[in-house]
Structures are given as structure tokens and as C-alpha cells.
Amino acid sequence: MRIDIISVLPELLEGPFSHSILKRAQDKGLLEVHVHSLRAYGLGRHKQIDDYQYGGGAGMVMMCEPLTNCILDLQKDRTYDEVIFLTPDGQTLTQPLSNRLSLYKNLLMICGHYKGIDERIREEFVTMEISIGDYVLSGGELAAAVLTDSIGRLLPGVLGDETSALFDSHQDGILAPPVYTRPEEFRGRKVPEVLLSGNFKKIEEWRNEQAEKRTAERRPDLL
């Protein structure tokens, strides 16, 4: 899979893609992440990428021309399955959506800044708009990193145990059950006996019960 990201501040994305699971995915050749500076497509001597909004109001708006030139330049080399704009008013990111996006070959993400992008870019190029929650960030870079991580970890061969992602919270519509590791007792709290029993049928039943209980307590809206 290849993910291209258009950003005003590409430096913000250096850390998230240079460590841990996403780095291993890239080292294995399972994932390519390319961050493109929008400033390279800016207009005039000062590489302008934003301007005042028509009708007045606080905040600058990302201009049509730089974004269009960048998108068209990237589209010369490949066809994108989705052109995604990270925005607070997009559809909320969910596990099923990440699952679906992980099946694609090429994705293009646009990170908003300031008051957002000119609406005509959304109408002309954007095929999907995604929000990572009901709050506002300074820019779309962190949202792009979250989305890329949620997709990249699902690619076959990325995780050491490929079945691990199948049992994450939200993967089957409920939260994950509690997990434990050594020592068996810590500050008076013991690992549930069933997990030490070696009876995998009972362990699976216990995990299902705990997952449903935790979901009912913390996220009843999922049931």
C-alpha cells in the first residue's frame, strides 16, 4: 500500500512514521508513506498557500491553486482509490472504516490548516472526508498520522502475530476484554484463575463474557 500526504508542515509527521510498527511496515516494503510539502507548490516569491476568506471573518483559507497543482502532480503517477480530507466535519473514523481502507492500494490524504481548504477543492477532488473525533486540532497532520497508523497495522505481515488485530477493541463491534501478564499476583491482585487453567474453551468463554460486560459498562451505545 502507498499513502501520500499533502501537508503545510511535513515536519510534524517525521516522528510518527519513523518508529515502531509503521517503520517496520515500511522497512518490510508493505507500506509506503510519502509526505509532500504544499509550500513547494505555493504561489509567487513567498510561496503563498493561503489567503483571506471571501465575506470576511477570522482565519485564513488554503488556496485552490497550490492544492490543485499538488494533487494533479501526484495523480500523474497513480490513480488513488480515495482522496481523503482530514476535517472535523467529516465522518468519524471507526474500525470498520479502517478495515475497508486497508484493502486499497493507493490513498491520498490532505491535511487542512487555518480555517480549512477552499470548498471547491472538496467538490473537485475529495472523495472522502474523515474526522478522528468531535474536536478541533491545529492542523490535519496528527489526524493523518492516526488514520495511517490505524490502516497500516492491519496490512498482512505488519504485526508479528497477524491474528492480534482481529481481537482489538471495536474490531467485532465490542470492546476488548482485560489482559494480564506476569507476575500472577501484584499488590494483592491476582490473575483470574481461568486464565491459568489451560482450558482454552473456558478462557474463550471468559473473554467473551468480559468483553460484553466491559462494553455494557463503558460503551453501551455499541451494544
pLDDT tens across 73-123, in order?
A: 999 999 999 999 999 999 999 999 999 999 999 999 999 998 999 999 999
**pTM, whole model, 2 decimals?**
0.90
- pLDDT score of 167: 56
In this predicted model, what pLDDT tens digit does every residue of 29-42 receive, in sequence order?
999 999 999 999 99
5 has a pLDDT exceeding 90: yes
What pLDDT sits at residue 111? 98
Domains of the chain listed by start with CATH number: 2-152 (3.40.1280.10), 169-222 (1.10.1270.20)
Averaged pLDDT for residues 205-216: 95
Over residues 135-183, the pLDDT tens digits come to 999 999 999 999 999 999 999 999 865 555 655 656 778 999 999 999 9
Residue 155 vs residues 20, 109, 138, 163, 207: alpha-carbon distances, Å: 15, 18, 29, 11, 25
pLDDT tens-digit readout, 7-17: 999 999 999 99
- Residue 147 CA to residue 180 CA, distance in Å, equals 28
For residue 164, the model assigns a pLDDT of: 58
pLDDT at 165 (0 to 100): 60
| Strand intervals (E) in the chain | 2-7, 32-37, 50-52, 60-62, 82-92, 106-111, 128-131, 185-186, 189-190
CA angle 82, 84, 85 (to 5 degrees): 160
pLDDT of residue 168: 64
Does residue 24 register a pLDDT over 70? yes
What angle do helix axes 141-152 and 20-27 make, rounded to 10 degrees? 60
Alpha-carbon gap, residue 117 to 155, rounded angstroms: 30
CA 110/CA 144 separation, integer angstroms: 8
Phi and psi for 130 in degrees, rounded to 5? -130, 135
Kindly tell me the number of DSSP H helices and DSSP E strands found in the chain: 7, 9
Residue-level pLDDT at 162:
55
pLDDT computed for residue 172 by the predictor: 74
Q: How confident is the model at residue 126, as a pLDDT? A: 98
Bond preceding residue 16 cis, omega within 30 of 0: no
